[in-house]
Structure 1
Amino acid sequence: MRSEVEPLNLHIRKSGKSNKGFYIALGVCLIAVGVAAWTTYDSVVNYAAPQSEKTESQTNKVNNAVSGVYVPDSSAPASGKAPAASKPAKSSAPASSSRRPAPSSAASKAPAKQADTKPQQYAYPVGNATVLQKFSENPVYSKTTEDWRAHPALDLSAKAGETVGAIADGTVKKVYKDDQLGSTVIVTHGDLEAWYCGLNQISVKEGEEVRQSQKLGTVGAVPIEQKSGSHLHFALKKGGKYVDPLTVLS
């Protein structure tokens, strides 16, 4: 009986030792698996963190480049010098010019609307344009005074009583009787001052507005030129200086 029990107890003791070794091995395996899992997790976390920081840094740099203003990376160590502003990248597209293009030559040559620059036409004061004595700043001989003197006027042949008209529109400046030139009417025509001398039957008065060819009076007598025959003594002044009437009359 004892011989049968002892092998059984021996088997139980052996079996108990075997189970204990199995659990020890299982525990070691679980620990190894846990260590491996932790190592793998720690490696993944450490690898992902720099990549995330690098991606964020690159994103900030891209944003800075787009805005054209450099913003220092907060993760960079502080230094004594401020970071230099980054230069914006040069674009291959042509920069737009703020200047307006110059007008084309065709537009610049377009004919401008011309103002009415038609010169003033002056009429003769008497119908007959026959000249008895021309304008002269140099001395000429006078039949009446029998001497030599300048003749700053134009003597136009005309019959006594013939109508004397205004050479252009104007204003009567003065009407008076001169001892040498006879009855005289002075009319301003723009920048010209016309002297109609040796008149009779004057029909205008001082300050009156007259129209071109309007009657001022009739041909009378010029005392200082009475030996020259019946005529109109006509003088023109411009800027206070006598000018040749033939350079003005049409």
Structure 2
Amino acid sequence: MKVSSNRNSKKNRGFYIALGVCLIAVGAAAWTTYDSVTKYTEPQSSAESKAAETNDTVSGIFVNDVSSAPTSSAKPVSSSPASSSAAPAVSSKTGTEPTAAAANTFTMPVSGKVSQAFSKKPVFNKTLGDYRAHTGVDLSAKTGETVKACADGVVTKVANDDRNGNTIVIKHGSIEATYCGLDKMLVKEKQTVKRGQKIGTVGVDPTESLESPHLHLIMKQNGQYIDPMTILK
């Protein structure tokens, strides 16, 4: 009977030991869970909170607020130096450009009116029997009538040719005038003439001999033919 009692006592003791171990294990697990929960619910630090509010994080790493970085107060420096004074205006005129033409007053060299107008387009020529540009203007006049200089100028040529007969070329500033089909020529080359001065008389232009008596007047400016009637008064 004593042997049975001892065995029962040992069994009971082992049961209580195992129960105690289980209780300890359960308590430890409960404590670990409680500690984790309380730490999870604790508020973030002020630095972490600022990062969350301002989005100043990159891959979870806190970055200093860029707004706190010092700014430079220096003004940008211009890459081009300021000029001390405005550049002087450059005149578009050169020594070879016409100035006398504007200053000169151009008047009719003879008393008659236009009998054949200036034309860059071909017109019929009775004498030659063909169509060609009329690069001058025909001013009706009597044969032997006085021809006057249109404006102040210098005589550059006095000659006779098969095309225009007796001709006088006068440089009136920027305008070069050729007086064609003259009878008499009363000036010499390099001679200075004044507006209205007699330079010759009306004759016959060989290329327009079938036309009524007239003075054939050609004008050029900067080497280009122009209509004399645009400047004659």
* Separation of aligned partners in 2, 1:145 and 1:203: 29
CA distance in structure 2 between the aligned counterparts of 1:125 and 1:157, rounded to whole angstroms: 11
User: Is 1:167 the equivalent of 2:150?
Assistant: yes
SS in 2 for 1:246: helix
Structure 1 gaps of 5+ residues are 1-117
Q: CA deviation digits over 1:82-134, x for unaligned, max 9?
A: xxxxxxxxxxxxxxxxxxxxxxxxxxxxxxxxxxxx85321101012x11110
Between the aligned partners of 2:184 and 2:134, the Cα distance in structure 1 is: 25
Aligned twin of 2:107: 123
- Normalised by the size of structure 1, how large is the TM-score? 0.52
Unaligned residue ranges in structure 2 (runs of 5+): 1-101
Please name the residue that 1:107 is paired with.
none
Aligned equivalent of 2:162? 179
Q: What amino acid is the match of 1:125?
A: P
CA distance in 2, matches of 1:223, 1:168: 26
- Mapped pair 1:135 → 2:118: yes
- Show structure 1 runs of 4+ deviating over 4 A: none
Structure 1 residue 173: Cα displacement: 0.4
Residue by residue, what CA displacement relative to the aligned partner does 1:183-221 show, whole Å, maximum 9, x if unpaired? 000000000000000011111000000000101100001
Bigger proportion of residues as strand: 2
Task: Find the aligned partners of 1:168 and 1:237 in 2 and give their Cα distance.
Answer: 14
**Structure 2 partner of 1:81:** none
Distance 1:201 1:119 in 2: 29
Report SS of the residue matched to 1:227.
coil
Amino acid across the alignment from 1:211: K
C-alpha distance in 2 between matches for 1:120 and 1:210: 12
Q: Secondary structure at the match of 2:209?
A: helix
Higher RCO (CA-CA < 8 Å; seq separation 6+): 2
Matches of 1:217 and 1:165 in 2, distance apart? 7
Identical columns (%): 48
Greater fraction of residues in helix: 1
Distance 1:197 1:237 in 2: 14
- Structure (1 or 2) with the larger CA radius of gyration: 1
Give the aligned CA root-mean-square deviation in angstroms. Answer: 1.0
Counterparts of 2:130 and 2:225, CA distance in 1: 21
Matched pairs, number: 132
Match of 1:219 among 195, 202, 206: 202
For 2:111 and 2:198, the matched residues in 1 are separated by: 12
- Distance of 2:154 and 2:189 partners within structure 1: 8
In structure 2, the partner of 1:229 is: 212
Instruction: Write the letter of the residue equivalent to 2:108.
Output: Y
Counterpart secondary structure, 2:208: helix
Partner of residue 44, structure 1 = none
